[in-house]
Amino acid sequence: MDDPRHPIRLSPEELETLEEERADAADPELTREELAWELVEVLDELTSEEIAELVAKNVPTDAHEFFKHYARQFCEGLPIDKSIAARLPNLMLLGYLLRVLEERLLVEPDESFDA
């Protein structure tokens, strides 16, 4: 990823400074769908080491454990392919990262998301 100032790579304190700069520049707000696509594009450009860094900075360890445990319980007894069940915690993690990004960028909480 070329831009080291991209919000997903920053701590909450660093992001606050960027938000102030963005407010001063009068940047338009992103919709939730636009934000989701931006996240996908950023993740697509990251190396596995950068993704690990991103997760370490933004996702509490207990959330990892919760996602694994919940996904395992959710899939028990359902006709879900094992390869899909193994990826479910990652999908949950992606949703968590999107929510963190939304909160940090102050997306309006009442805005609906229609993908």
Task: Break the chain into its structural domains and give their ranges.
Answer: 30-104
**Mean pLDDT, residues 63-91:** 89
Question: For residue 92, is pLDDT > 80?
Answer: yes
**Mean pLDDT, residues 32-45:** 86
Predicted TM-score (pTM) of this structure: 0.59
Q: Contacts by 47-52 with C-beta closer than 8 Å and gap 24+?
A: 50/1, 50/9
Give the Cα separation of 29 and 35 in Å (integer). Answer: 9
**Mean pLDDT, residues 24-32:** 66
The answer to whether the beta carbons of residues 42 and 8 sit under 8 Å apart is: yes
Q: What is the pLDDT of residue 111?
A: 53
Give the Cα separation of 108 and 8 in Å (integer). Answer: 18
Burial (CB < 10 A; 0-12, 13-18, 19+), residue 55, is middle
Q: What is the pLDDT of residue 66?
A: 92
Q: What is the pLDDT of residue 113?
A: 52
